[in-house]
Each structure stands twice: as structure tokens, then as C-alpha cells.
Structure 1
Amino acid sequence: MSSRRDRHGRGIRGPLIVPRELGGVVPAPRPSRSEFFADAVQASLDRISQTCPAVLDRLVVGIEDVPERQSFVADHVPLTSAQDGDEHNPARVVLFRRPLEIRAATPQGLVILVHRTLVEQLSALTGFPIDVIDPGADQDT
């Protein structure tokens, strides 16, 4: 007798795959909020690199969940943090995920808010006008 259980020679007791109630394909799992945010930041950087790649030279973009308490100004939570670079260190922009998520009403609104916030920070750091960094900025509404 084999080591598999055969239920006294009666074979398999039920179907191997239970049919789905509504049929169709099992939907792919949705990304987590942090993955969605990282994808939005990457899409924004890709868009900026298409229109004005010089802005991204010697720049590091990072994501943190929340800012440190010391960075609050008069109890206002910052959305981003930007730091100028020097000859040894690149410029840095940090986007804070939770404050941006709270201010966005929809996922598409979050994508737009991330892009606008990043463009504004890059404009402040580099001195390039917003229209040069993102020519279609007024079309995002």
C-alpha cells in the first residue's frame, strides 16, 4: 500500500478547485498604501525626468512616513523637507507620506498632490520656474 491516503479505494473525495461563486478571474491584490505612495513618487520623478532632467542632477528624493516633531512650525505639520546640496553632498527632498495622504481625498488626488509638491520643492531648490519643470502643471486639475 502506498503512503498516500486513498480513503479505502474511493479516490479523491471532492473537486480539487472549488468553483468561484461569480466565476471569472481572481483579482490581483491591491498595493499597500506605502507601495502606492512610492509608485506615485516614482511616476512623478519619471514625468519630471522627461520634461526637465537637469533638475534631477545631484538630487536625492526620499520618503518618510511622518516628520520628526522638531520640524513642526507653530503646530503645522510639514508635507516635505528640502535641503540644499553642496560640493560634497547632493540636494535632498523628503516627502512625508502620512501628511500628504491625509490631505488627499482620492488616490488620484494623492498622485496629483505628490507631483505638485515635488515640483514646488524642486523649483525652490534649483531656481527653475515651475512651468519649466512641469509644462503641463495647470492641466492637472
Structure 2
Amino acid sequence: MSFDHLPYRPCAGFMLVNAEGLVFVGQRIDPSAHGFWQMPQGGIDKGEDVRDAALRELAEEIGVGPDKVEVIAQTAQPICYDLPPELQGRVWKGKYRGQEQHWFLGRFLGEDADIDLAAHNPPEFNEWRWIEPEQLPALIIPFKRAVYEAVLAEFRGLI
């Protein structure tokens, strides 16, 4: 069965970098993605501005409010990915074929103690760390790897 007729789910993501140029990643609690790490991201509510959605997701998922972030850039275009066949029709109540993601780059102005994985109920991540940007594609679930490579390519010179 083909899901190509379905729309993409609107999504916003945030590449948070610290003063040393390292990128925040959290390890997913979701059993289907266990062992994989990702940057904060999530759906855009109807009528919500994409930048506001990215900042909201950052606050919800890791407890970092807009006062602790300097937004540096946004991807020139949204980046889309399709779910793998085994997830199509199951994720997001079967309403979407994948996601159309708007990514933002921001400098973390806070301290590590400001990061709170319990800010989201239930939590999305069970642990977090700062990594070298080049490590990102190897840590993400494979079907999102091309997205992370594109985000990294666009933001690399600004990190």
C-alpha cells in the first residue's frame, strides 16, 4: 500500500550549540527508537509560527526557554523525509507520510544545569550530551539521517 498521497506533518527542530561549538542531543525513550539520539523537534500546531514552535519544543523537551537561547539561523527551505514502509500508516494515526521539518540553529546561553529532561511529561529523552557536530548523522535513526546531514551542511559554517 502506498502512502504517497498523504501530506507531510509540519515539524520544527532545533540545533542547540554551546559555547564550545558542540551540539545537544538527547537519547530517545521511545522503545522503537531506543539507542538513537536526536535534537529537539516536534509538531507545529495549527496557526503556530515555525520559530515559535521550535522554541516551544526546546522548552517542552529539555526545559530551555527562549531567554537561554540566541537564535542564529533557520534552514532556507523545510527538509522532508518519508517514514519507512514499516511505520507508514501507524505513526501519527496514519495521517502523514513523513515530516516537513523547519530547522533552527541557536546558541545556548545557559548552563548545563538549566537542561531539564523532566520538563516534558512524559519525558522524551532519558539522557543527553554535547557532541561534535559531525557525529550527528551516525547517532540519528537511519531514516532521518539525510535530514541531519542536510541540516549540518547548511549550519556548519555558523556553528
TM-score, normalising length: structure 2: 0.25
Larger Rg: 1
TM-score, normalising length: structure 1: 0.27
User: Which structure shows the higher strand fraction?
Assistant: 2
User: Which structure shows the higher helix fraction?
Assistant: 1
